[in-house]
Chains A and B, each alone.
Chain A
Amino acid sequence: MQNAASAGAEAPILSVRNLSVNYGAIRALKGASLDVYRGEIVAVIGANGAGKSTMMNAIMGDIARAGGEILLGGAPLPARSYQVVGAGVSLAPEGRRVFAPLTVRENLEIGAFPLSDRSEIEEQMQRVFNLFPRLEERRSQYAGTLSGGEQQMLAIGRALMAKPKVLLLDEPSLGLAPIIISEIFKELALINRTLGMTILIVEQNARKALLLSNRAYVLQTGNITMEGASGDLLNNPEIEEAYLGGRKK
């Protein structure tokens, strides 16, 4: 009998195997696979329409899978959203989708829906406030009145409230000014380092995502076409040409 620790190579905490998703006749994901190990930041980069959000939403059970399997800690991840969150995977969705008519505090509280211990929720909220002091200042404000950057912080904080084992981020840079993007990515690195949070991030902003992550995958029209250490991908001429705005001939 052997457990994960004594097995030598550690098993991935999140494993996506041959995932396919269709929207009617459109095949948005065609058997994509990736692994995320405990404590890592993994990035998936790809152009608009590559299937990044589809992958995130399929992991979350927000859209149905057509095939493949998703494992969390070696066990199949349940199919329904609320069960996925309960199992330990939370998403800060594309476009932030904060609850505009609820206060910042209420947004964080709803993020903690799977938790039932009041003191545990307060503790987690304090942790989020420490990461994003701006949210604490604005805790009684309606989320709809926050700036785009603050809303993104709220979306990330809200996802952290459920104490996930893996945090999923769908384009946290979307629609934000470069200086705000830098601030948020700095915060993500901190969340990974200080909380030991495992992060899977999908981004069109390939440079930022590659600088942040340990490993990365390239998603192209529903297929994973490349993978490797983020540093290597940053220096890969093909990647540079296609995703980092390399000089065109």
Chain B
Amino acid sequence: METLLQQIINGLSLGSVYALIAVGYSLVYSILLFSNFAHGGFLVIGGYVCYFFLGGYFLSNFFEGGVGTNIWVAAAAALVGAGLSAVIVEKLAYKPIRERTPVTLYMLIASMGMNIVIENIFVVTIGGRYRALPSVIPMKPVSVLGVATTSQFDLLALATAVVFLVGLQIFLSRTKWGLAIRAASYNLRTAGLMGVNVNRLISLVFFVAGMLAAIGGIFLSARYTLYPQLGAITTKAFVAAVIGGLGSLPGAVAGSLILGLAEMLATGFVSSQFRDLIVFVLLIVTLIVRPAGLFGKSVGEKV
């Protein structure tokens, strides 16, 4: 019973971090109809910007303490940095393609290339070694109702994800640009005919996706350490987005929570070696039983 409750809390916490990342995949997919595999790169950029601002680089390379900003400034910088990087990647790599051809497969391939480029920029400039984020996120254990224990870290991750996902929902449902994004996710060209500057809209979507990835990047690098290939973790968030139905934001959140819970329950009741197995079992079962995903609309070719 205690294990169950504890693993549920851990699962929700893990799932909520996946959700931040999965929503970015789905948001971009809903507008441009391709899976942006450079998304993991945005996450890594967020992690490194945060690390730099916290003074981690200087601490480990030059000084002993006394440099770096607090976590709020560092996190804000990471969000803006990753958001802007996402916008730049779109302008450099995807815009030239989408202006020439309606075939979205080329953007998918370009995104894989951009992911490698981003990874290697970090490998070449600051090196591939694992780096620990200065301990700015509290990790103390917390007792839940006296029956289970979790950590401050897990609760903080869950709360942060909820704040940002609710914020995103409010932005999409209450603002003019949010409405434009919803319209564009149904039909981008028709949204253009309504007077929406579609290039600006696409930049906005990438900025938001990059920001959300950066939050994931901060929490994941605090949990596991930071290295250029950390973005590979987004594979699981991508799977979550597919299970929920690519292009659907509620689907991305639901898929992420299911995945997080499944991983943690498998860890708690079977063995942690089953963690990754269960992810792909869920993916395969979804693709067989309901190829469009839980909230997916149509079964087109999804790349």
Contact = CB atoms under 8 A, between A and B. Distances in A.
A84 to B, nearest CB: 8
Contacts of A97: 187, 190, 193
Contacts of A110: 179-180, 183, 191, 194, 196
B229 to A, nearest CB: 38
Chain A residues touching B, range: 20 to 34
A110 B178 CA distance: 10
A114 B176 CA distance: 10
Interface in B181-208: 182-183, 186-187, 189-198
A102 B182 contact: yes
B179 A81 contact: no
B99 to A, nearest CB: 10
B180 A113 contact: yes
B202 to A, nearest CB: 12
A94 to B, nearest CB: 11
Nearest to A57: B193
Contact of A99 (B176, B186, B197): B186
Contact of A101 (B176, B182, B196): B182
Contact of B186 (A80, A93, A101, A162): A101
Contacts of B197: 80, 82
Chain B interface extent, by class:
10 to 19
B83 to A, nearest CB: 22
Interface string A89-129: 01101000101111000100111011000000000000000
B186 A113 contact: no
A114 B190 contact: no
Contacts of A113: 176, 180, 194-196
A100 B297 CA distance: 12
Given A102-B182, A109-B179, A60 B193 contact: yes
Contacts of A60: 193
Nearest to B201: A82
Given A106-B179, A113-B180, A81 B193 contact: yes
B179 A100 contact: no
Nearest to B191: A110
Nearest to A155: B190
A158 interface: yes
B179 to A, nearest CB: 6
A1 B68 CA distance: 67
Interface in A37-69: 60, 62
Given A109-B179, A110-B180, A113-B180, A100 B186 contact: yes
Nearest to B197: A82
Contacts of A114: 195
A93 B192 CA distance: 12
Contacts of B182: 99, 101-102, 106
A86 interface: yes
15 contacts: A60-B193, A80-B197, A81-B192, A81-B193, A81-B195, A82-B197, A97-B190, A99-B182, A99-B183, A99-B187, A99-B190, A102-B183, A109-B176, A110-B180, A113-B194
Which A-B residue pairs are the 5 nearest by beta carbons?
A: A85-B195, A81-B192, A114-B195, A113-B195, A82-B197
Given A62-B193, A106-B179, A113-B196, 17 more contacts: A81-B198, A82-B195, A85-B194, A85-B195, A97-B190, A99-B182, A99-B186, A99-B190, A101-B186, A102-B183, A102-B186, A106-B183, A110-B183, A113-B194, A113-B195, A114-B195, A158-B194
